[in-house]
Every structure is written in structure tokens, then in C-alpha cells.
């Protein structure tokens, strides 16, 4: 039988790659394992009772909510988002500029359906969020990569690379940028670089996908203007999600962009999943309508600030400080460690033996790199586990030095 399936698999299936983090889940779920691996929120603060209260919408509007919904999204939730996101978007979004999606992962997929053909080039930060780059790969995209430093994408490197690609006759379809509290790097693109990135987009006619699931989770400093709000020419598609600010089990995200693009993405969505789960959209809407989202955000921020601080302190206490470097993140979910003298695969194995899970840095590279880096998520583990996990990681590192 396996011969039969081998002969049937599509070209895309032949090239498909599993997500190493999803594949790692069975390791991470071993008893006693302290996980810094998945980018998961802390279930201890999920607003379970408020969400349960929101189920009243099923009693009151069940006949709508249990029906197929419109592909573009549940109207009341779209209206809520249009008003609620206005401060970050710089204005209220029009109905036709907003699409509710099944997680923001689906934004990347729909955008790729809409504008990417096999062999087109997408410019990504290196390293970048693998969930997105895997999807781009599935669409047959090729990659150009741009390195990052503590101030985010090194935007000044873009023109030379774009010109070389254009000279070679390649079509560059978009630039993918995680502007705030980057996954995996934890860094944030400065305002100067945001403006410079928009200049590049205008100069070369290349749109930007601004992926911003962590933007609301800022611990220190002031919020920076989104690329979307700075953009004057409709070159930015903005993606966000309820996964990190409410609960990933809702599987709801959204995107904002030019109406003609949103329309094409919605038509593709008709054939992908008809519409995002209406029950989920209605529950999230009711939860938001009752003011719970607004009240929950400061709680998330306070809760995760403590965990970020616990990880910072635990690193200082337990890691071999001369051999490990990091930048303290101002928000989001992740630390990115650099261990110039330690091979991260060896560190990963030793860490798993000691029951602490990290993600090797090379997982986030579409090219080479990341062999002396790892990503650690601080939101999932408790402060006590963070301390113990850092102690175990420090001892694994010392064994390898
Ligand atoms: C940068 C980035 N984009 C998108 C996502 C996907 O989020 P969602 O759960 O909404 O699909 C994640 C999740 O980890 C992420 O880190």
C-alpha cells in the first residue's frame, strides 16, 4: 500500500517538512520535563470563567452562531476589532479591509495563495518564525534572508539584495517582518527602521507582511507605531491573533490590508475552510464585548513580566555568564541565547536528559545558522520551574564547555 501512496503524493507533499517544534511535543510532555520549548501561554491565567460566561451568547443567539458564517468573519467581532484595534492601526478599519482567520497562521497561507507562485521569492528575517516559513515553503516560495540585530531586521541590507534578485529576473513578492518581540529573537524593530522599511517597500514596489501577535504584550517602554499605521500607500498587510492575548485554542486571528487583496484572500478562504469557526468567533466576541479582553491584557502583562524577570534572574544565577549572551526582551514570549562555544544539538540532548526542553536555534533558519543559539519561552513554566530549568540548563552547558 505504501507504494500506492508514494505514487500519489503531490509535488508539494514530496517537499513538505514537519514543524520540528510540533514533532517535539511528545518529548516535551514527558513527566517531570520543564518546557521552555513551545511558545505557549500559561494556562493558569486563561480566563476560564469569563469565557464560560460568554457562552450565554449560545443561549441568546444560538440559531445564528450554529449556522455557517460569512467567510470574511462574524460581523459583530469584525466591528469590535475595527474599533478596538484603531489605536494601533492609526484609524478604524473598514469592513472590507478586515478578514477574520483561523489563527494568524492562516493569514500567511491565504496571502501566499493570493500572491505567491512557485519559484517566487519571499524576503524573511533570518532567523524567523518557522510556522510561517514552512507555509511559504509549502507554496513553493524561495527565500532571501536578512539578518537581524538587537534593533530588528537590518533594513539597510535590503536594497542590494532586492536589486540583485530583480537583476536576475526573480519576482520578490513580499517582505515578512515580525515587528514586535520577534519570534525567536525577542527583538523589536526600531521606529527609524520601520520608516526605512516602508521606504524600501515604496521604492521597489514590494509589500510587507507585518506579523504582530506579540505587540500587545509589552512589559517595558512605549508601544511603537505599527508599519500599518505608518504606511501611506497601502503596502502593508497586518496580521494579529488572539493566541497570545487570549487563548490559542480559540484558533482565531485576523488581518488588515487593502480591500482588493482581502477580497482575494477571502475567496481562497472559501475553499480552505468556508469560514473560521463561528462558535469560537461568537464566544470571543461576547467575551470582548463584556470588556474582558481590555481587563485581561494588564493581567497578562503583569504575569509575564514576572516570568521574564524570573528568567533573567535565573540566567544570571545559573548560566556560565562568560560563555552565554542574550538581550533582555521588552515584551513577548522569548529569550534567544547565544552560546559561541557550545553546539546546540549537543546542548539540546543534554538538556532533555536533564528534563529541560529548549528549541535549537537552527530550527528557525531557512539557510545555515543557529547552531550556537537556542530559543527559550518563559511564559509557560512557573517562576519556580524557570529557576530550576535554568539551573539544569546551566549544568548541561558546563558539561559541554
Ligand atoms: C510570529 C508568529 N506569527 C504567527 C503565529 C501563529 O499564531 P496563531 O496561533 O494565531 O496561528 C505565531 C505563534 O507562535 C508566531 O510566533
Pocket flag, ligand 1, residue 104 (CB < 6 Å): yes
**In whole angstroms, what is the distance from residue 365 CA to residue 227 CA?**
24
E strands present in 107-207: 121-126, 142-149, 152-153, 172-177
Select the more confidently predicted residue: 21 or 187.
Answer: 187
Tell me 331's DSSP state.
Answer: B
Residues in the chain: 401
Ligand 1 centroid to 321 CA: how many Å?
Answer: 31
Question: For 250-304, how does the pLDDT look when each residue is reduced to its tens digit (9 = 90+)?
Answer: 999 999 999 999 999 999 999 999 999 999 999 999 999 999 999 999 999 999 9
- Which run of H or of E encompasses 304? helix 292-318
% residues pLDDT > 90 (the chain) = 93
Strand bridging mode 373-377 / 334-338: antiparallel
Question: For 76-90, how does the pLDDT look when each residue is reduced to its tens digit (9 = 90+)?
Answer: 999 999 999 999 999
Distance of CA 69 to the CA centre of its chain: 26
Ligand 1, from 152, 213, 250: best to mutate by most atoms within 8 Å of Cβ?
213
Query: Across residues 25-42, what is the average pLDDT?
Result: 88
Ligand 1 centroid to 7 CA: how many Å?
Answer: 34
Ligand 1 centroid to 240 CA: how many Å?
Answer: 8
**In whole angstroms, what is the distance from residue 274 CA to residue 72 CA?**
9
- Which run of H or of E encompasses 336? strand 334-338
- Give the count of alpha carbons within 13 A of 89, CB side only: 23
- 139: helix, coil or strand? coil
116: Cβ–Cβ under 8 A, 6 or more apart, which residues? 122, 136, 139, 140, 141, 173
Ligand 1 centroid to 244 CA: how many Å?
Answer: 8
Pocket flag, ligand 1, residue 241 (CB < 6 Å): yes
Ligand 1 nearest-atom number relative to CA 241: 10
Ligand 1 centroid to 214 CA: how many Å?
Answer: 9
Give the residue, by CA position, lying nearest to ligand 1 atom 14. Answer: 39
Pocket flag, ligand 1, residue 250 (CB < 6 Å): no
pLDDT of residue 202: 98
If you average pLDDT over every residue of the chain, what do you get? 96
Pocket flag, ligand 1, residue 131 (CB < 6 Å): yes
Residue 63 pLDDT greater than 80, yes or no: yes
Residue 348 pLDDT greater than 90, yes or no: yes
171: Cβ–Cβ under 8 A, 6 or more apart, which residues? 117, 119, 120, 121
Pocket flag, ligand 1, residue 183 (CB < 6 Å): yes
Backbone torsions φ then ψ of 272, nearest 5 degrees: -90, -55
Ligand 1 centroid to 108 CA: how many Å?
Answer: 10
Select the more confidently predicted residue: 30 or 194.
Answer: 194
Give the residue, by CA position, lying nearest to ligand 1 atom 7. Answer: 104
Pocket flag, ligand 1, residue 332 (CB < 6 Å): no
Residue 1 pLDDT greater than 70, yes or no: no
Longest CA–CA span in the chain (Å) reads: 63
Pocket flag, ligand 1, residue 75 (CB < 6 Å): no
Pocket flag, ligand 1, residue 253 (CB < 6 Å): yes
Ligand 1 centroid to 102 CA: how many Å?
Answer: 11
Say if residues 380 and 40 touch (Cβ distance below 8 Å).
yes
For the chain, how are helix, strand and coil distributed in percent, rounded to 5? 50, 15, 35
Residue 43 pLDDT greater than 90, yes or no: yes
Pocket flag, ligand 1, residue 73 (CB < 6 Å): no
Cell readout for 236 is 502593508
Say if residues 103 and 241 touch (Cβ distance below 8 Å).
yes
pTM for the full predicted model: 0.96
Ligand 1 centroid to 243 CA: how many Å?
Answer: 7
pLDDT of residue 21: 73
- Which run of H or of E encompasses 238? strand 236-241
Select the more confidently predicted residue: 28 or 196.
Answer: 196
**In whole angstroms, what is the distance from residue 189 CA to residue 182 CA?**
9
Pocket flag, ligand 1, residue 135 (CB < 6 Å): no
Query: Across residues 226-242, what is the average pLDDT?
Result: 98
Which domains does the chain show, CATH number per domain? 2-46+294-400 (3.90.1150.10), 48-292 (3.40.640.10)
Residue 122, beta-bridge partner list? 143, 174
Amino acid at each position: 500500500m505504501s507504494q500506492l501512496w508514494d505514487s500519489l503524493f503531490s509535488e508539494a507533499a514530496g517537499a513538505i517538512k514537519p514543524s520540528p517544534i510540533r514533532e517535539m511535543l511528545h518529548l516535551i510532555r514527558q513527566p517531570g520535563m520543564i518546557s521552555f520549548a513551545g511558545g505557549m501561554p500559561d494556562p493558569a491565567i486563561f480566563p476560564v470563567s469569563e469565557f464560560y460566561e460568554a457562552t450565554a451568547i449560545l443561549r441568546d443567539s444560538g440559531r445564528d452562531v450554529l449556522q455557517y458564517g460569512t467567510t470574511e468573519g462574524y460581523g459583530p467581532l469584525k466591528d469590535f476589532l475595527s474599533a478596538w484595534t484603531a489605536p494601533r492601526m492609526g484609524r478604524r478599519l473598514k469592513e472590507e479591509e478586515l478578514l477574520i482567520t483561523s489563527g494568524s497562521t492562516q493569514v500567511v497561507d491565504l496571502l501566499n495563495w493570493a500572491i505567491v507562485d512557485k519559484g517566487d521569492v519571499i524576503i524573511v528575517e533570518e532567523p524567523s518564525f518557522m510556522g510561517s516559513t514552512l507555509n511559504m515553503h509549502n507554496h513553493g516560495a524561495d527565500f532571501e534572508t536578512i539578518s537581524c540585530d538587537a534593533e530588528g531586521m537590518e533594513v539597510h541590507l535590503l536594497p542590494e539584495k532586492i536589486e540583485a534578485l530583480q537583476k536576475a529576473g526573480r519576482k520578490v513578492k513580499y517582505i515578512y517582518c515580525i515587528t514586535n518581540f520577534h519570534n525567536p529573537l525577542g527583538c523589536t524593530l526600531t521606529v527609524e527602521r520601520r520608516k526605512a522599511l516602508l521606504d524600501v517597500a515604496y521604492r521597489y514596489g514590494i509589500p510587507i507582511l507585518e506579523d504582530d501577535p506579540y505587540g500587545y504584550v509589552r512589559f517595558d517602554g512605549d508601544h511603537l507605531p505599527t508599519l500599518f499605521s505608518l504606511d501611506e500607500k497601502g503596502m502593508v498587510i497586518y496580521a494579529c491573533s488572539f493566541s497570545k492575548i487570549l487563548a490559542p485554542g480559540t484558533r482565531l486571528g485576523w488581518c488588515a490590508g487593502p480591500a482588493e487583496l482581502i477580497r482575494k484572500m477571502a475567496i481562497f478562504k472559501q475553499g480552505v475552510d468556508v469560514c473560521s469557526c463561528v462558535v469560537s468567533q461568537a464566544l470571543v466576541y461576547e467575551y470582548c464585548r463584556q470588556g474582558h479582553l481590555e481587563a485581561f491584557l494588564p493581567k497578562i502583562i503583569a504575569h509575564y513580566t514576572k516570568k521574564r524577570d524570573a528568567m533573567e534572574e535565573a540566567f544570571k544565577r545559573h548560566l556560565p555568564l562568560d560563555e552565554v549572551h542574550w538581550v533582555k526582551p521588552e515584551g513577548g514570549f522569548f529569550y534567544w541565547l547565544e552560546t559561541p562555544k557550545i553546539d546546540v544539538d549537543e546542548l539540546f540532548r543534554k538538556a532533555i536528559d536533564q528534563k529541560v526542553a529548549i528549541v535549537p536555534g537552527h530550527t528557525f533558519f531557512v539557510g545555515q545558522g543557529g547552531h550556537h543559539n537556542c530559543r527559550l519561552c518563559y511564559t509557560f513554566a512557573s517562576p519556580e520551574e524557570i529557576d530550576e530549568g535554568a539551573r539544569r540548563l546551566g549544568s548541561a552547558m558546563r558539561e559541554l564547555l
